[in-house]
Amino acid sequence: MAKERKSCLSKRVSRRFVNGLILLVPVVITLLVVSEVLHFTEGVLGKHLPFYFPGLGIITVVLVIYFVGWISSYWIMRRLIHYGEALLGKIPVVKFIYNSVKHLSTAVFESNNMFDHVVLVPFHQSKALGFIMADVPQMLKEKLGDDYVCVFVPWSLNMTSGTNLFVRKQDVIYLDISSESALQYMLTAGAVMPRRLESDAEMQPDVSAEAAAELAKKKKG
């Protein structure tokens, strides 16, 4: 009996310790990265400017990002960026990394429907939580048919990796969960519970006309 209590207590302590790590590690890493960037920026500015005030580093970083976005809209700057990208494209390893990051950034920030729809799909004789992504490429549609959608399933505790699945539409279950809370739930291995969408207005149009129809069927059922 004493051994069982000791084992139970040990498991409870271990589980709580792991949950604490899951919650704290992303926060600590984020704070360290932000702190290093600001420390570097303010250190450089402090050496070259005759004045300094708290927050100067943050203001400078924001202004630099805005300035780069502003000048990139001009023809000359676009040409320079093009030449710079062409130069990076000639370096084997750098080319792969740069193109991958660029395509991912473009897809995520410019897409109107990516990560908008949380779904449940079959995965290794079980179910997995994922997101409806871009349309299935035409060359794959010719092989798969029109009855498939592209679903991205992130890996728990690793926000940079995941699995891309092509799933039959009839096997996709659309969930009334916000994308943000679903992503938090997946990345924390279930430590942060997902929340329902506050209203149907949060559902975006597009691939989602289909998503909205599925949700409507669920609610009627």
Q: Report the domain count for the chain.
A: 2
Residues near 62 by beta carbon (within 8 Å), at least 6 away in sequence: none
Does any domain span residue 165?
yes
pLDDT tens-digit series, residues 70-110: 766 666 666 776 777 777 777 776 666 666 666 655 555 55
**Which range in 68-72, 105-109, 120-124, 205-209 is most confidently predicted, on average pLDDT?**
120-124
157, 83: one domain = no
- Chosen domain end from 81, 110, 139: 110
200, 134: one domain = yes
Nearest C-alpha neighbor of 171 from the set 192, 194, 148: 148
- Distances from the Cα of 219 to the Cαs of 5, 171, 179, 194, 206, in angstroms? 45, 18, 19, 19, 20
Residue 202 has pLDDT above 50, yes or no: no
SS3 call for 162:
strand
Going by pLDDT thresholds of 50, 70 and 90, the confidence category of residue 205 is very low
Arithmetic mean of pLDDT, 177-193: 77
Whole-number pLDDT of residue 68 = 72
Residue 104: give the domain boundaries: 72-110
pLDDT tens-digit series, residues 34-44: 777 777 777 77
Tokens 């100067």 correspond to what residue?
A: 56
